[in-house]
Amino acid sequence: SIFIDTLAKAQAQEELNKDDLKVLLSADGEEASLLFKHADAVREKYLGKEVHLRGIIELTNYCKQNCHYCGLRRGNEQLSRYRLTYREILTTAEQAVALGYKTLVLQGGEDSYFSARDIYELVKEIKKMDVAVTLSLGEHDFDTYKLWREAGSDRYLIKHETADPHLYEHLRPGKRLKQRLQCQSWLKELGYELGSGCMVGLPGQTLDTLAEDLLLLKKMDVDMAGIGPFIPHPQTPLASAQQGTLEMTLKMVALARIIMPLVHLPATTALGTIHPEGREKALQAGANVVMPNVSPSEYRALYQIYPNKICIRDEPVHCRSCITGKIKALGRVVSTTRGHSPKGGITR
Ligand code: 5AD
Ligand code: SF4
Ligand code: FES
């Protein structure tokens, strides 16, 4: 069949074109299982059994953007907003380091309350704790990214969300895909390891678009790709849209692994939210990273990008042992390193 022929092409490590990707994205049932199995083998061959944990600290749920898909959008007036204080952030970071996290991700909505200097000082302080720091704070200018790099930030996570420029511009009012990709190029130029990614199952997204998402990740030469299902949030314009599926998201993760053997791929929290074994399934379809929340419990429920997010009632220490248990149960091991990009080439 055309599926088997295309899978054989993937197994022979031949370059997959857009049509090939669409064939593989159409796999169902047993075909999809074969695809996951191959992706799992590629992960094992190139990266072994190590799973990297990244602790996420959600600094602020204020956001000046109005993305149609996201519960933090400024138009959501029903959400109580919070910002962690400088002290709270550092205490959270210390606790996460004590739990053994070797990478901390500082994530937040686009909140102008925090100045570029504030983030600079924060990163400088956290870097003293001997961890890798990833920033996930949205779009900024070159000089801001440069300042944060000088503070010691190692990585930056800024997903392209969707490679379809029309869909992108519709879902992110006032924003342009081109600008997003410009930010990504600047970050690479500044020596950050770049994390990108997209949502799967957005209304208006097609198989063609999903294939483009994969090709764009490859073209941007990303170090990490976060691929998660779209989950409709009741207080957004997409409230009544369909949710992305487990199966399609897993196929996207698997293909990302197949076309980019050395990229870091998280088993996303969103996947764990739509299916109780979503993260485990992703770890067996190419993923090699998990990003547990380490934010203070009293604020977790408020970081409601999408509804029913897992772990909102769990303390960091609980998630840490929960996830370690899941990783071990799969015959995998928790990495004891910072888990820098195996693609290398970056001087730090
Ligand atoms: N469902 C799934 N993921 C979402 N994100 C935002 N809204 C949703 C949603 N409704 C993701 C985007 C963004 C990050 C903040 O969360 O990919 O990059
Ligand atoms: Fe803000 Fe990001 Fe949510 Fe868009 S996706 S509203 S930029 S937090
Ligand atoms: Fe939070 Fe399992 S990772 S409870």
Check if 58 has its Cβ closer than 6 Å to any atom of ligand 1.
Answer: no
Domain count, the chain: 1
Q: What is the pLDDT of residues 124-136, one digit of tens each?
A: 999 999 999 999 9
Is residue 24, in this structure, part of any structural domain at all? Answer: no
Residue 19 lies in a domain: no
Give, for ligand 1, the residue of 177, 199, 231 to mutate: max count of ligand atoms closer than 8 Å to Cβ: 199
Q: Atom 2, ligand 2: which residue's CA is nearest?
A: 109
Mean pLDDT throughout 284-311?
96
79 belongs to a structural domain: yes
Q: What percent of the chain has pLDDT over 70?
A: 99
- What domain range includes position 168? 50-242+290-334
Residue 333 has pLDDT above 70, yes or no: yes
| Domain presence at residue 278 | no
CA distances from 186 to 22, 111, 183 (A): 30, 21, 5
Using 50, 70 and 90 to split pLDDT, how confident is the model at 344? confident
Does the beta carbon of 271 sit less than 6 angstroms from any atom of ligand 1? no
Mutate to test the pocket of ligand 2, among 58, 63, 176 (most ligand atoms within 8 A of CB): 63
d(CA 258, CA 251): 10
Q: How many CA atoms lie within 13 A of 293 on its CB side?
A: 23
**Residue 192 falls within a domain, yes or no?**
yes
Alpha helices in 154-245 (DSSP H): 165-171, 177-189, 207-219
**CATH, residue 63:** 3.20.20.70
| pLDDT over threshold 50, residue 13 | yes
Task: Give domain status of residue 45, yes or no.
Answer: no
Residue nearest to atom 2 of ligand 1 (CA): 230
Determine the distance from the C-alpha atom of residue 13 to the mean position of all C-alpha atoms in its chain, rounded to a whole number.
25
Q: Whose structure tokens read 């949030």?
A: 233
Task: Indicate whether 64 belongs to any domain.
Answer: yes
- How much is the mean pLDDT over the chain? 97
Instruction: Strands of the chain (E only): list them.
Output: 50-53, 55-60, 103-108, 132-136, 155-157, 193-200, 224-229, 289-290, 333-334
Domain assignment present for residue 12? The answer is no
Rounded average pLDDT over 55-80: 98
**CB of residue 199 inside a 6 A radius of ligand 1:** yes
The pLDDT tens digits for 203-216 are: 999 999 999 999 99
CA of 61 to the centre of ligand 2 (A): 9
